[in-house]
Amino acid sequence: MNKEYLRIIDANLNRLREGIRVVEDIFRYIFNDKETAKKLKTLRHKAQIDFNSDLLLSRDIKNDVLKSSTKSEQDRKTLDSILLANFKRAQESSRVLEEFSKLIDKDLSEKFKYIRYELYDLEIVITKI
């Protein structure tokens, strides 16, 4: 597979798992919501790909043209802003993974689509807090 495609997949896998982890920890440690935290943990573990060594070889952090944080990424004032930003981060990353996985394996693409829709559904939980 094209190294640039693998680089996109690698970056978005990291974003997806990181975003889910932030949300998972909020539900686990702040809200003490075992059910939601467990669902998030399951989704995070589901976000795996078998060709991890190829992904690592495609990683090029030094040449990432947008690795500096934006103002909005630095400006979190509330727990809700952290929660929402990380839900969105994970949802957007799962969409990118869904699209680029189509180049590899349709079943893999469907896995990321499933994760995305589960995240949309779990996001509703924050409206009940």
Task: Report pLDDT digits (tens) over 86-99.
Answer: 999 999 999 999 99
Distance CA 24, CA 44 (A): 9
- What are the distances in angstroms from CA 24 to CA 8, 16, 72, 90? 24, 12, 22, 12
- pLDDT value at residue 44: 96
Q: What integer pLDDT is reported at residue 16 of this predicted model?
A: 97
pLDDT attached to residue 48: 84
| pLDDT value at residue 63 | 63
